[in-house]
């Protein structure tokens, strides 16, 4: 294929993302995108004519915008003389689905397709004979389901539930063939595995049974349907994870196949012949040209952290064409919109000026961050012609075991939610994580998943009750903070998954002195109660933690901050001179790098100092009252924060954290009810006389040891052997003055849980 011709949508305004593009039979090209301008989203639509390899703008309109406008998930369908765009819009905390049409004279007023108190997001659109067919994802009843409806002459039909009554169905795609047969695909989580599903509606309006299109161990997701004549194609992503690192993928490949009555047919020897399978590929869009050739646009990572580049490949039915790189400009992991116009492939994709180095540390970068929408025109006329038939064979799916599915039961992820009675109240045990990164964080952006993918895996594989994604503050720009907050709100499922807006306040390791040979302050995760909180912080501005706390309190922010990698020399050991029981009530005792309990502790972090000073026991030795949690940090399921809370809400979980009714585990869903003189973990109580310590422990694997530590000295140990244990220890000779007690549980397989202490003061 010849070199693509690239142009940028001009004039450039705002930070632009999520492009959609269609070419109409009348010859017009419509492009739409979401533009972040002046602290709010705007929906922009432009009409182009296209001559040879050039796009000529004929008009541009801002359909929606202004303060308080929040938009997501733009998709498009071409009509006979115009275009239809569908998107999710949030109003007063409620995400709904809308459609807007555009013709030569500009756009019409948006029409609401779906509404409800739950999230309605990720719409997909297809057009046939005057009817717009729409499918979307809904969180009704705290289940993620797929719904469909159609729009004709301004009237919306009754919504149809397309997916089965399983709790986790995501990311629909919709296509309509020339006979009016409508197909909807999505990916769902069943039997500890993500697979692609399909349901079809006859031209007479009857829905057939759900079909499971894939069954490979691993993650099959992000299906995109393409109807051409009587054929239906699907392009989806097959991803894999190593061990229990469910926050990142070590493998991603696109699969292109035709849907047949017996299953999926693909090009022969697909896993060895297709450039999509031989090289990492993701974020697909597809089209078939008038000569019957299949074209797929996709994103390829510039590993390890250089963002993505847009590429396109073709398939003639006999040979693969390409791949051809559209542009060397860095992009985010977003699908490139693709349409066919004669012998031209027309594409729209996003490109930005983000760094591809570890640290985007310039404090002024947020003022200069830019993202454009680029248009590409590729001449496909010189490509090899299509073969008489597509020459497909039955797709042989990968059969390698999926590690997270195998470990899911070992770690006890399907356990019920226990509760306890305490002081006349009932508390429930919720598991979550408050430290994880997405592809926004540049340090591992091509390995970590997108925000939406991260939420899905936490909701399903780990079955967490709460989660905060904490991308590095120095990698965040205004658009990405707004986008992160939107994803927090769109992924919050009442009663199922509580999502928090957060960031990692990553202190500088560029400044050193004799007192601080590894740098200043230490890393801390900042968690907000308000999912609309307007500001984030980069520690590269030179502020101390105390400066940050003062500013947050001046804003009347509802927040907690949590130190992590406490004694790690690979980053910055925490400085315990900065302590605040309200602002910083707990610390991260463990993450996937290891334990920061004390120097030489079991599962000691590999890059920890090995010298006292920054471990959690060092904080306690200084008299600091700080509880413990664990969280993964690029590790997926390797680290859990556990809280005893009154209910599963943001307010109740933050209250439990501030009260230090918390403990941390390495990965296993160990249950710990730890009390001292009848007082629950995290409390400060009066002393006098013997100290009675009790604990009830339940674990998914046999318990090797339960240990009680008094003021950093282990004074009791037992080996229950089973998976349920109750212990009682009476300290007949407690220490004078202030002391504290905490619990450590170790399973036979090496998984550990640590309780927050109870402090005793005379």
DSSP E strand boundaries for 139-218: 145-152, 155-156, 160-161, 169-176, 182-190, 193-201, 211-212
Residues 590 and 682 in one domain: no
CA distance 655 to 647: 10
Among 667, 698, 724, the domain-final residue is 667
CA distance 153 to 129: 12
Q: Are strands 627-630 and 586-591 parallel, antiparallel or unpaired?
A: parallel
Domain-located, residue 434 = yes
pLDDT value at residue 540: 85
Residues 663 and 675 in one domain: no
CB distance 84 to 120 below 8 Å: no
Domain-located, residue 263 = no
Residues 597 and 726 in one domain: no
Residues 659 and 677 in one domain: no
Among 627, 650, 667, the domain-final residue is 667
Token pair listed for 138:
């809904």
pLDDT value at residue 10: 85
Q: Which residues of the chain carry a pLDDT beneath 70?
A: 1, 358-364, 509-510
H or E segment and range at residue 259: strand 251-260
How confident is the model over 478-512, as pLDDT tens digits?
A: 999 999 999 999 999 999 999 999 999 998 766 77
CA distance 323 to 490: 35
CA distance 646 to 648: 7
Among 667, 695, 728, the domain-final residue is 667
pLDDT value at residue 519: 85
CA distance 403 to 506: 31
Residues 606 and 700 in one domain: no
How confident is the model over 188-232, as pLDDT tens digits?
A: 999 999 999 999 999 999 999 999 999 999 999 999 999 999 999
CB distance 63 to 44 below 8 Å: yes
Report how many domains make up the chain.
2
pTM (predicted TM-score): 0.97
3-state DSSP call for residue 550? helix
3-state secondary structure 553-576: HHCCCCEEEEEECCCECCCCCCCC
- Interacting residues of 515 by C-beta distance below 8 A, sequence separation 6+: none
CB distance 233 to 257 below 8 Å: yes
Residues 516 and 648 in one domain: yes
Tell me how far CA of residue 650 lies from CA of 140, 386, 503, 560, 705, in angstroms.
19, 56, 16, 12, 34
Domain-located, residue 431 = yes
Domain-located, residue 218 = no
Residues 657 and 679 in one domain: no
Q: Are strands 294-301 and 308-315 parallel, antiparallel or unpaired?
A: antiparallel
Starting at the earlier edge strand, list the strands of the sheet with 586-591. Answer: 594-595, 586-591, 627-630
Residues 524 and 586 in one domain: yes
Closest CA to 727 of 672, 687, 689, 656: 672
Domain-located, residue 694 = yes
Domain-located, residue 579 = yes
3-state DSSP call for residue 474? helix
What separation, in Å, do the N-terminal and C-terminal C-alpha atoms of the chain show? Answer: 81
Backbone angles phi, psi at 278, to 5 degrees: -75, -25
pLDDT value at residue 514: 82
Domain-located, residue 660 = yes
pLDDT value at residue 361: 54
pLDDT value at residue 355: 81
In terms of residue numbers, what domain contains 599? 415-445+505-667
CB atoms within 10 A of CB 112: 13
Residues 736 and 610 in one domain: no
Dihedral sign computed on CA atoms, order 118, 121, 126, 131:
positive
Token pair listed for 612:
């006292």
Q: What is the chain's length? A: 762
Token pair listed for 136:
């979307």
- Residue 750's CATH number: 2.60.40.10
3-state secondary structure 645-691: ECCCCHHHHHHHHHCCCEEEECCCCCEEEEEECCEECCCEEECCCCE
Q: Is 600 exposed, middle or buried (0-12, 13-18, 19+ CB in 10 A)?
A: exposed
Residues 692 and 647 in one domain: no
CB < 8 Å & 24+ apart, contacts of 265-273: 265/390, 265/392, 265/393, 265/394, 265/395, 266/392, 266/393, 266/394, 266/395, 267/315, 267/320, 267/390, 267/391, 267/392, 267/393, 268/391, 268/392, 268/393, 270/395, 270/396, 271/396, 271/398, 273/320
Q: Residue written as tokens 């109240």?
A: 425
DSSP string, 703-754: EEEEEEEETTEEEEEE---SSEEEEEEEESSPPSSSEEEEEEEEETTS-EEE
Residues 717 and 646 in one domain: no
3-state DSSP call for residue 447? coil
Token pair listed for 668:
């296993």
Starting at the earlier edge strand, list the strands of the sheet with 294-301. Answer: 282-288, 294-301, 308-315, 320-325
Domain-located, residue 80 = no
3-state DSSP call for residue 427? strand
Residues 532 and 428 in one domain: yes
């Amino acid at each position: 294929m010849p070199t693509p011709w690239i142009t940028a949508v001009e004039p450039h305004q705002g930070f632009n993302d999520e492009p959609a593009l269609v070419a109409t039979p009348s010859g017009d090209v419509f492009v739409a995108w979401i533009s972040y301008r002046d602290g709010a989203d705007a929906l922009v639509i432009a009409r182009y004519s296209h001559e040879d390899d050039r796009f000529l703008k004929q008009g541009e309109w801002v359909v929606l915008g202004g303060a308080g406008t929040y938009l997501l998930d733009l998709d498009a369908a071409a009509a006979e003389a115009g275009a239809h765009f569908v998107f999710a819009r949030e109003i007063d905390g409620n995400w709904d689905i809308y459609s807007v049409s555009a013709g030569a004279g500009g756009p019409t007023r948006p029409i609401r397709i779906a509404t409800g108190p739950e999230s309605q997001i990720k719409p997909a659109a297809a057009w046939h004979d005057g009817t717009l067919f729409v499918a979307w994802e809904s969180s009704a009843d705290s289940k993620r389901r797929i719904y469909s409806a159609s729009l004709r002459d301004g009237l919306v039909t009754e919504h149809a539930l397309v997916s089965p009554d399983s709790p986790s169905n995501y990311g629909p795609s919709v296509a309509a063939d020339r006979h009016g047969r409508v197909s909807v695909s999505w990916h769902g989580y069943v039997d500890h595995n993500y697979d692609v599903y399909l349901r079809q509606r006859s031209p007479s309006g009857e829905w057939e049974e759900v079909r499971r299109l894939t069954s490979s161990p691993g993650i099959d997701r992000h299906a995109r349907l393409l109807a051409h004549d009587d054929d239906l194609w699907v392009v989806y992503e097959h991803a894999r994870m190593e061990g229990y690192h469910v926050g990142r993928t070590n493998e991603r490949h696109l699969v292109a196949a035709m849907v047949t009555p017996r299953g999926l047919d693909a090009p022969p020897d697909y896993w060895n012949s297709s450039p999509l399978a031989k090289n990492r590929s993701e974020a697909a869009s597809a089209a078939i040209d008038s000569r019957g050739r299949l074209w797929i646009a996709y994103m390829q990572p510039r590993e390890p952290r250089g963002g993505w580049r847009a590429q396109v490949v073709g398939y003639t039915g006999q040979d693969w064409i390409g791949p051809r790189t559209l542009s060397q400009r860095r992009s985010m992991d977003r699908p490139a919109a693709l349409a066919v116009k004669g012998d031209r492939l027309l594409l729209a994709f996003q490109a930005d000026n983000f760094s591809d180095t570890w640290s985007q540390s310039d404090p002024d970068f947020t003022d200069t961050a830019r993202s454009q929408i680029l248009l590409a025109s590729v001449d496909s006329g010189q490509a090899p012609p299509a073969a008489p038939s597509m020459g497909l064979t039955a797709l042989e799916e990968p059969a390698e075991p999926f590690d997270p599915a195998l470990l899911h039961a070992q770690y006890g992820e399907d356990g019920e939610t226990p509760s306890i009675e305490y002081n006349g109240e009932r508390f429930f045990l919720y598991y979550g994580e408050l430290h994880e990164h997405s592809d926004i964080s540049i340090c591992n952006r091509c390995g970590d998943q997108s925000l939406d993918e991260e939420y899905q895996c936490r909701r399903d594989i780990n079955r967490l009750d709460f989660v905060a994604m904490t991308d590095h503050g120095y990698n965040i720009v205004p658009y990405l903070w707004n986008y992160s907050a939107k994803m927090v709100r769109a992924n919050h499922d009442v009663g199922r998954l509580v999502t928090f807006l957060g960031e990692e306040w990553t202190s500088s390791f560029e400044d050193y002195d004799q007192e601080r040979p590894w740098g200043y302050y230490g890393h801390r995760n900042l968690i907000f109660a308000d999912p609309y909180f307007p500001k984030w912080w980069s520690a590269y501005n030179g502020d101390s933690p105390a400066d940050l706390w003062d500013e947050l309190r001046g804003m009347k922010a509802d927040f907690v901050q949590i130190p992590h990698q406490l004694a790690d020399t690979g980053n910055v050991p925490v400085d315990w001179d900065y302590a605040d029981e309200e602002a910083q009530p707990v610390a991260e005792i463990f993450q996937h790098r290891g334990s920061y309990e004390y120097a030489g502790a079991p599962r000691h972090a590999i890059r920890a100092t090995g010298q006292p000073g920054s471990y959690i026991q060092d904080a306690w030795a200084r008299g600091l009252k700080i509880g413990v949690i664990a969280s993964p940090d690029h590790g997926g399921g390797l680290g859990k924060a556990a809280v005893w809370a009154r209910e599963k809400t943001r307010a109740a979980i933050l209250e439990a954290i501030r009260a230090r009714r918390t403990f941390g585990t390495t990965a296993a869903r160990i249950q710990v009810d730890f009390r001292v003189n009848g007082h629950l973990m995290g409390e400060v109580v009066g002393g006098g006389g013997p100290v009675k310590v009790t604990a009830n422990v339940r674990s998914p694997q046999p318990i090797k040891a339960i240990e009680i530590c008094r003021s950093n000295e282990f004074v009791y140990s037992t080996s229950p052997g089973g998976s349920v244990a109750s212990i009682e220890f009476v300290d007949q000779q407690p220490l004078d003055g202030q002391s504290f007690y905490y619990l450590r549980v170790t399973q036979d397989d090496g998984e550990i849980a640590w309780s927050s202490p109870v402090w005793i003061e005379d």
